[in-house]
């Protein structure tokens, strides 16, 4: 089983690369091609941010946290609504100051939430079957969906980061028509990159971070050298909550904060399969691959498919990510950067 | 005192192999079936039939199917509603294209078609397992949804992509009223539930459980993993297909792919985990829990709120419904991670000893 | 053992009893019961809430101002569907037996629920009003006895949009070679207009591309990249809920001009444009019946309902597009009952009797003005063959803070739509094995 089977991996990679290059060969303008690529990367950044939360929790506690999407929604709702209410409550100016304070408060709320989840849900279920834990997080999802709408409301809310939404053209001299990029997307990418650096520093440089990594490597060994598991779990859920808040902020600023944000969480599953369940860089790169693959497929593969079989519209991006993940699984079950102890049949 | 097997001796192999070995159990189940057939049709209201009993029964059947796969064979599926969709659309196309076919035959054929697709999407299970397999079934879910929404032939070129079915006719008898539909569904579900119960006691079921408990050991004692896993996928998808056809024809009457969405799949998974993995009875209990609880909460909460002087609208009731539902799932997992069926089994054990402590 | 069974039986019976609708208890009350299927939670709540508030406020107004419908008090109960078909069916089953005479008339408020309930209407005999939505072929009252797509269908809406852009281009013949993209909600709702747009494409020679958006509609990047690539001359938006505002935002992001975007009447309300901020300026949509604004009926609502502290939602939403549409929908229900009362008497009526009222509606401008809807509803005149009762609309444009209604009024071209309706309804009747009514005969026998 452990024998190196790189052939299929290379084959799949080659097919993907060929797929990526195909539109150019068939005569799509380079400018537009790059736009799709950028659009895909941007979507990928958002997927990555959610997948990051999954990976953090899975690493530290072996729980597949289905509630990550609900946490994103909850955090974004808290941020948007607090930024709206704070000026009226304590009279600080609306706009950036209110948003900053709201961010801090929302982060506090997410930490509190992490503590409650650990106390009420995880601690009684410790050492249970992974499926039971997964179900418990589904329960948390339902609870947060209802609770979030109860206290924050179910309308569409705005998070205004004060970034212009109008697109700008770049490289107009190089390509016909130029490339359209939006500032918002760039800032989202910067925020995501910043978050990843922050997390890396946290894991590498702080004592807590090192303890977290120890727990991720081996629960029992970590416990035997005196690392308190319960506290570690609270911390990791809090960190995941913070990641959710950042993801919620970026998404909310782009799309508006509404109940349907939580639905995007399912997309994180193929991302973590692709990147590996336990790898933070894997989550990022997996997200980018899924994002790009999906948009490319929809834009370049969809229309010919529709024409060929007389389909009622495209929409292949709905399943593309999952099929890609499935293909990938067949050739490399541990993911791009995952650890190799996945049991194959 | 009442419930114990003292004095019930088996004197033949036949008796020893009964599905329900204990006389009291047998009576209880027979009583329940008789009640469902002979009493319920006369006392329940239209609302009970159409909004609760019929969906409950059909969903139970689908949950049994999923339980055969997940609970007995240990293979996870996050896309079982897709197999229901296959059954529903297969049945629709059979009825549209061969109108003279008997509806029961259509059901079986629809199930068989779903089983074929199930085997196809079960193939990855030979390679991977656990959550990884879950992704493979998710791919099935989204891909199949997409196919039915896009390929016009499957919906008989319906302009809105929604299909409608004619009323069900069997042997010249029209199943129109809710009661008739209920009886039809009940009969189908009981037959299939008994078949499932028998299946899991038999050779196939045992090989599934062996795969679930330890695949390597199972292989060593001579169980072919390919045969065991693919047969589990086939049987499970068959059940889902039949349930899907019933869901479309008997419960909805007209539907679009969204009727078999990912949420339906997740709900099915809820049912078997709450009800009890590896238990036919658990499938029913879980289905009851998931079908009844939201509806009951939704109806009971506003009057309860009024009782304590709080007047909340449907929105608040709906939010509370979500919250209580989520909290109850967590509660049951903490109290009994093996599902409500396990509580039932423990209760039976206790009852055997009652009123004496030992 | 017997004991155990009987306990179980008793328990089941108790549950049965508890859940069964307790309708028979107040059989003689002088009340007309209106079920309200609404969605105040979930992905579509931003649009569902104002509609539901408008609907309920109008019923409150009828009771507070007029003392009911000619003395028959209006009662109602809301049920949350969450825009999900199965929950909608459950709600319908729960509410259909309530009140002294059962449910009067149902507004399904979702195309999926409409499809499901249409099947049941033939046995339940409860009319379904789908004002501006539902299935287009249900205009044919000879097949769809119980469906009333009052005031317009999606085929009509699509037709009017094509007429409008034809006019803008200087004639329908100028549409030849033009590119139109339909961005639609991937559900029966979004797919309904396709048939007509394709029919029209055959006539005028424009090129139609179909771009479905998956529920709930927050992922549209690829859709709009395709639009950026193909640069269609016009984009028709057939969205609902959060999908609409997302579409406008994505249009901003790819630089597609908003004044080339035309929404159906469900993609042309305040919750659709406000989240997009300034980006929504110039975006157009059809109006259905009531545009935004305050008329006599609104003043009454404020005076009799909101000022008494009885308002269902916040006071400032009175006069918004979707709120007004809720008012109009409730008005249709009430007028149907009023019309039926002229035949069956001023008492609580059954759904079956209200069906007659809805089928014989004759609301002209004068009648509308009398009930305070001057300028906020279009005349409706229904018959056994025509359950739509007229279909016309205007285009309104978002100027950044309010909707500005355009001057031209469009009427759906029945010459194109009628044959399509006939064919589709006939197919339905055949599939469902429904006996088609003979309207001429019914008319003769009632005289």
What's the pTM? 0.89
| CB-count burial class (<10 Å; 0-12, 13-18, 19+) for B100 | exposed
Residue A24 makes CB contacts below 8 A (sequence gap 6+) with A30, A33
Per-residue confidence at C12, pLDDT binned at 50, 70, 90?
A: very low
Per-residue confidence at A176, pLDDT binned at 50, 70, 90?
A: low
Contact C82 B314 (CB under 8 A): no
pLDDT at site A165 = 66
Would you tell me how many other CB atoms lie within 10 Å of the CB of residue A306? 18
Does residue B273 sit in helix, strand or coil? helix
Element (H, E) at B290: helix B280-307
Task: Sort out which chain A residues have CB atoms less than 8 A from C43's CB and list them.
Answer: 258-260, 263
Q: Which of C270, C266, C319, C349 has its CA nearest to residue C54?
A: C319
- Among 3.40.1440.60, 3.40.50.300, 3.10.20.740, 3.40.50.2300, what is the CATH number of C155-287+395-412? 3.40.50.2300
Contact C42 A259 (CB under 8 A): yes
- Examine the pLDDT at C26 and tell me if it is beyond 50: no
Would you tell me how many other CB atoms lie within 10 Å of the CB of residue A62? 14
In DSSP terms, C237 is beta-bridged to C183, C263
pLDDT at site B92 = 94
In a domain, B9, yes or no: no
- Pairs of CB atoms within 8 A across A/C: 118
Cα–Cα dist C95/B290, whole Å: 21
> Cα B191 from chain centroid?
13
Cα–Cα dist A125/A144, whole Å: 19
Q: Are strands C380-381 and C362-363 parallel, antiparallel or unpaired?
A: antiparallel
- Examine the pLDDT at C21 and tell me if it is beyond 80: no
Cα–Cα dist A101/A83, whole Å: 8
> Cα B346 from chain centroid?
23
Structure tokens of C106?
């149902």
- Chain B nearest-CA residue for C3: B2
Per-residue confidence at A171, pLDDT binned at 50, 70, 90?
A: low
**3-state SS of chain C: helix, strand, coil percent to 5?**
50, 15, 35
In a domain, B31, yes or no: no
Length, in residues, of chain A: 345
pLDDT by residue (tens digit) across A249-290? 888 888 788 777 766 777 888 888 888 887 888 888 899 999
Per-residue confidence at C22, pLDDT binned at 50, 70, 90?
A: very low
Would you tell me how many other CB atoms lie within 10 Å of the CB of residue B102? 11
Where exactly are the structural domains of chain C? 29-152+295-381+423-446, 155-287+395-412
Of C210, C213, C245, the CB nearest to A256: C245
Cα–Cα dist B273/C267, whole Å: 41
Instruction: Tell me the percentage of chain A whose pLDDT exceeds 70.
Output: 91
Q: In Å, how far is A20's CA from the nearest CA of chain C?
A: 15
Contact A313 B128 (CB under 8 A): no
| Residue entry with tokens 């008090």 | C73
Cα–Cα dist C149/B252, whole Å: 21
- Examine the pLDDT at A3 and tell me if it is beyond 50: no
pLDDT at site C50 = 93
CA atoms within 13 A on the CB side of A292: 17
Q: Which of C110, C118, C109 has its CA nearest to residue C137?
A: C118
Contact C41 A256 (CB under 8 A): no
Of B141, B149, B337, the CB nearest to A132: B337
pLDDT at site C53 = 94
Q: What is the DSSP letter of C301?
A: I
Element (H, E) at C326: helix C321-344
Inter-CA distances, A310 with B157, C199, C208, Å: 11, 16, 14
Decide: B247 and B259 in contact? Cβ < 8 Å. Answer: yes
Between A227 and A168, where is the model more confident?
A227
Q: Do domains C29-152+295-381+423-446 and C155-287+395-412 have the same CATH topology?
A: yes
Cα–Cα dist A119/A123, whole Å: 6
Q: In Å, how far is A164's CA from the nearest CA of chain C?
A: 10
Question: Per-residue confidence of chain B (358 residues) as pLDDT tens digits?
Answer: 566 666 677 777 777 777 676 777 788 888 888 888 888 888 888 888 988 999 999 999 999 999 999 999 988 888 899 999 999 999 999 998 988 889 999 999 999 999 999 999 998 888 777 777 888 888 899 999 999 988 889 988 887 888 888 888 888 788 878 899 999 999 999 999 999 999 998 899 999 999 888 888 888 888 898 899 999 999 999 999 999 999 999 988 888 888 898 889 988 988 898 888 888 999 999 999 888 888 888 888 888 877 777 767 778 888 888 898 889 888 888 888 778 888 888 888 887 777 776 5
In a domain, B107, yes or no: yes
Cα–Cα dist A85/A82, whole Å: 5
Structure tokens of B308?
């304590």
CA atoms within 13 A on the CB side of C405: 17
pLDDT at site B353 = 75
Q: What is the DSSP letter of A92?
A: P
Element (H, E) at C180: strand C179-185
Decide: C193 and C155 in contact? Cβ < 8 Å. Answer: yes
pLDDT at site A1 = 39
In a domain, B37, yes or no: no
In a domain, B34, yes or no: no
CA atoms within 13 A on the CB side of C366: 1
Residue ranges of alpha helices (H) inside B35-177 are 40-43, 46-47, 54-67, 80-97, 103-122, 131-150
Structure tokens of B331?
């509660």
- Cis peptide bond upstream of A224, omega within 30: no
- Examine the pLDDT at C213 and tell me if it is beyond 60: yes
Per-residue confidence at A196, pLDDT binned at 50, 70, 90?
A: confident
pLDDT at site C285 = 95
Q: In Å, how far is C424's CA from the nearest CA of chain A?
A: 18
Decide: C201 and C208 in contact? Cβ < 8 Å. Answer: yes
> Cα C6 from chain centroid?
48
Q: Is C102 left (phi over 0), alpha (psi -120 to 50) or beta?
A: left
Thinking of the domain C29-152+295-381+423-446, which architecture would CATH place it in?
3-Layer(aba) Sandwich (3.40)
Which phi and psi (to 5°) does residue A222 adopt? Answer: -60, -45
| Residue entry with tokens 């990029």 | A181
Cα–Cα dist B239/B110, whole Å: 10
| CB-count burial class (<10 Å; 0-12, 13-18, 19+) for B182 | buried
Structure tokens of B304?
């309860």
Element (H, E) at C362: strand C362-363
In a domain, B12, yes or no: no
In a domain, B323, yes or no: yes
Cα–Cα dist C278/A158, whole Å: 13
Of B129, B262, B337, the CB nearest to A128: B337
Per-residue confidence at C6, pLDDT binned at 50, 70, 90?
A: very low
Residue A7 makes CB contacts below 8 A (sequence gap 6+) with none
pLDDT by residue (tens digit) across C235-246? 999 999 889 999
Cα–Cα dist C372/A63, whole Å: 60
pLDDT by residue (tens digit) across C141-187? 999 999 999 988 999 999 999 999 999 999 898 999 999 999 999 88
Q: Chains that contact A by 3+ CB pairs under 8 Å?
A: B, C
Per-residue confidence at A339, pLDDT binned at 50, 70, 90?
A: low
Cα–Cα dist B74/B212, whole Å: 4
Query: Sign (positive/negative) of CA torsion A290, A293, A297, A299?
Result: positive
Contact C222 A35 (CB under 8 A): no
Task: Sort out which chain C residues have CB atoms less than 8 A from A306's CB and list them.
Answer: 210
Task: Sort out which chain C residues have CB atoms less than 8 A from B256's CB and list them.
Answer: 112, 115, 187-188
Where exactly are the structural domains of chain A? 53-257, 266-345
Contact A121 B139 (CB under 8 A): no
Query: Sign (positive/negative) of CA torsion B357, C1, C6, C11?
Result: positive
pLDDT by residue (tens digit) across C309-357? 888 888 999 999 999 999 999 999 999 999 999 999 999 999 999 999 9
- Examine the pLDDT at A245 and tell me if it is beyond 80: yes
Task: Sort out which chain B residues have CB atoms less than 8 A from A146's CB and list them.
Answer: 318-326
The string of DSSP codes covering C404-421 is EEEEEEEE--HHHHHHHH
Structure tokens of C257?
């001009």
Between A62 and B33, where is the model more confident?
B33
Largest CA distance in chain B: 68
The CATH number covering residue B259 comes to 1.10.3470
Task: Sort out which chain B residues have CB atoms less than 8 A from A125's CB and list them.
Answer: 333-334, 337
Element (H, E) at B97: helix B80-97
Cα–Cα dist B75/B129, whole Å: 7
Decide: A309 and B151 in contact? Cβ < 8 Å. Answer: yes
Q: What is the DSSP letter of B37?
A: I
Structure tokens of C430?
């055949």
Contact B314 C78 (CB under 8 A): yes
Q: Which of C277, C275, C269 has its CA nearest to residue C51?
A: C269
In a domain, B325, yes or no: yes
Which phi and psi (to 5°) does residue B140 adopt? Answer: -60, -45
């Amino acid at each position: 089983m452990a024998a190196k089977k790189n052939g299929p991996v290379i084959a799949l990679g080659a097919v993907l690369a060929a797929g990526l290059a195909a539109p150019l060969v068939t005569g799509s303008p380079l400018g537009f091609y790059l736009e799709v690529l950028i659009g895909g990367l941007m979507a990928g950044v958002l997927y990555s941010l959610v997948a990051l939360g999954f990976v953090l929790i899975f690493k530290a506690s072996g729980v597949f946290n289905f509630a990550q999407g609900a946490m994103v929604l909850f955090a974004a709702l808290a941020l948007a609504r607090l930024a709206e209410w704070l000026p009226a409550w304590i009279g600080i100016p609306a706009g950036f100051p209110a948003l900053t304070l709201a961010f801090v408060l929302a982060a506090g709320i997410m930490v509190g939430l992490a503590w409650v989840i650990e106390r009420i849900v995880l601690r009684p279920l410790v050492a249970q079957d992974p499926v039971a834990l997964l179900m418990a997080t589904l329960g948390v999802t339902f609870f947060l969906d209802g609770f979030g709408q109860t206290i924050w409301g179910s309308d569409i809310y705005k998070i205004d980061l004060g970034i212009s939404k109008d697109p700008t053209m770049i490289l107009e001299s190089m390509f016909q028509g130029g490339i359209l990029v939006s500032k918002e997307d760039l800032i989202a990418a910067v925020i995501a990159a910043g978050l990843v650096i922050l997390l890396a520093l946290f894991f590498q440089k702080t004592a807590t971070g090192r303890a977290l990594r120890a727990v991720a490597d081996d629960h029992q060994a970590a416990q035997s050298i005196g690392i308190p598991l319960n506290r570690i779990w609270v911390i990791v859920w809090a960190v995941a909550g913070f990641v959710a808040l950042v993801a919620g902020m970026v998404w909310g600023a782009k799309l508006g904060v509404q109940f349907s944000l939580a639905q995007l969480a399912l997309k994180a599953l193929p991302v973590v399969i692709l990147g590996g369940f336990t790898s933070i860089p894997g989550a990022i790169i997996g997200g980018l691959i899924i994002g790009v693959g999906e948009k490319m497929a929809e834009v370049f593969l969809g229309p010919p498919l529709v024409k060929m079989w007389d389909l009622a519209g495209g929409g292949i991006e709905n399943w593309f990510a999952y099929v890609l993940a499935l293909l990938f699984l067949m050739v490399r079950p541990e993911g791009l950067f995952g650890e190799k102890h996945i049991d194959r049949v | 005192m009442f419930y114990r097997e003292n004095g019930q001796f088996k004197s033949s192999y036949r008796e020893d192999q009964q599905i329900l070995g204990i006389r009291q159990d047998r009576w209880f189940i027979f009583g329940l079936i008789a009640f469902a057939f002979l009493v319920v049709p006369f006392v329940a209201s239209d609302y009970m039939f159409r909004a609760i009993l019929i969906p409950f029964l059909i969903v139970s059947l689908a949950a049994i199917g999923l339980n055969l796969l997940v609970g007995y064979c240990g293979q996870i599926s996050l896309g079982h509603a897709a197999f229901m969709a296959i059954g529903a659309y297969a049945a629709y196309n059979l009825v549209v294209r061969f109108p003279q076919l008997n509806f029961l035959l259509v059901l079986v054929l629809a199930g068989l078609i779903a089983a074929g697709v199930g085997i196809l999407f079960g193939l990855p299970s030979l390679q991977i397992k656990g959550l990884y397999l879950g992704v493979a079934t998710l791919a099935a879910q989204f891909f199949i949804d997409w196919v039915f929404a896009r390929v016009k032939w499957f919906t008989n070129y319906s302009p809105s992509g929604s299909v409608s079915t004619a009323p069900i006719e069997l042997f010249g008898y029209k199943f129109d009223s809710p009661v008739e539909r209920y009886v039809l569904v009940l009969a189908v579900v009981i037959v299939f539930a008994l078949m499932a119960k028998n299946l899991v006691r038999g050779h196939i079921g045992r090989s599934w459980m062996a795969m679930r408990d330890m695949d390597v050991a199972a292989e060593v004692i001579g169980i072919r993993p390919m045969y065991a896993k693919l047969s589990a996928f086939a049987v499970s998808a068959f059940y889902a297909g039949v349930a899907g056809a019933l869901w479309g024809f008997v419960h909805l009457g007209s539907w679009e792919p969204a009727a078999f969405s990912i949420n339906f799949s997740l709900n099915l998974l809820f049912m078997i985990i709450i009800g009890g993995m590896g238990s036919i009875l658990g499938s029913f209990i879980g289905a009851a829990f998931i079908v009844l609880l939201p509806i009951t909460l939704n109806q009971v909460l506003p009057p309860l709120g009024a009782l304590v002087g709080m007047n909340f609208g449907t929105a608040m009731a709906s939010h509370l419904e979500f919250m209580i539902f989520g909290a109850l799932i967590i509660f049951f997992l903490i109290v009994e991670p093996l599902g409500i069926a396990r509580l039932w089994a423990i209760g039976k054990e206790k009852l055997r000893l009652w009123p004496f402590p030992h | 053992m017997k004991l155990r069974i009987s306990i179980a039986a008793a328990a089941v019976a108790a549950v049965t009893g508890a859940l069964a609708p307790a309708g028979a208890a107040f059989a003689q009350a002088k009340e007309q019961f209106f079920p309200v299927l609404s969605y105040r939670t979930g992905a579509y709540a931003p649009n569902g809430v104002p509609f539901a508030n408008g609907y309920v406020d109008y019923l409150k107004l009828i009771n507070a101002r007029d003392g009911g419908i000619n003395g028959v008090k209006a009662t109602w109960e809301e049920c949350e569907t969450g825009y999900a078909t199965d929950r909608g069916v459950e709600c319908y089953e729960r509410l259909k037996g309530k009140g002294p005479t059962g449910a009067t008339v149902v507004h399904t408020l979702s195309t999926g629920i409409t499809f499901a309930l249409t099947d049941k209407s033939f046995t339940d005999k409860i009319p379904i009003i789908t004002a501006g939505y539902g299935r287009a072929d249900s205009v044919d009252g000879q097949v769809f006895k119980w469906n009333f797509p009052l005031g317009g269908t999606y085929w009509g809406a699509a037709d009017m949009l094509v007429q409008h852009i034809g006019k803008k281009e200087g004639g329908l013949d100028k549409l030849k070679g033009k590119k139109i993209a339909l961005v639609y909600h991937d559900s029966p709702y979004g797919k309904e207009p396709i048939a007509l747009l394709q029919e029209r494409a055959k006539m005028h020679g424009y090129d139609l591309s179909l771009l479905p958006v998956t529920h709930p509609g927050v992922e549209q990047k690829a859709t709009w990249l395709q639009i950026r690539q193909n640069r269609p001359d016009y984009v028709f938006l057939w969205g609902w809920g959060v999908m609409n505002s997302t579409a406008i935002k994505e249009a901003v992001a790819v630089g597609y001009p908003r004044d080339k975007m035309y929404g159906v009447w469900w993609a042309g309300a305040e919750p659709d444009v406000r989240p997009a901020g300034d980006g929504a300026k110039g975006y157009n949509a059809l109006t259905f019946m009531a545009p935004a604004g305050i008329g006599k009926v609104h003043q009454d609502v404020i005076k009799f309902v909101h000022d008494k502290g009885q308002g269902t939602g916040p006071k400032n939403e009175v006069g918004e597009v979707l709120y007004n549409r809720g008012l109009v929908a409730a008005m249709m229900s009430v007028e149907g009952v009023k019309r039926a009362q002229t035949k069956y008497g001023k008492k609580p009526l059954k759904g079956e009797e209200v069906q007659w009222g809805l089928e014989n509606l004759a609301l002209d401008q004068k009648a509308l003005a009398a009930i305070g809807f001057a300028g906020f509803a279009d005349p409706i005149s229904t018959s056994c063959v025509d359950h739509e009762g007229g279909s016309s609309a205007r285009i309104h444009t978002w100027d950044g803070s309010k909707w500005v209604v355009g001057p031209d009024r469009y009427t759906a071209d029945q010459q194109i739509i009628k044959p399509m309706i006939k064919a589709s309804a006939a197919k339905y009747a055949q599939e469902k094995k429904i006996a088609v009514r003979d309207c001429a005969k019914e008319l003769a026998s009632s005289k």
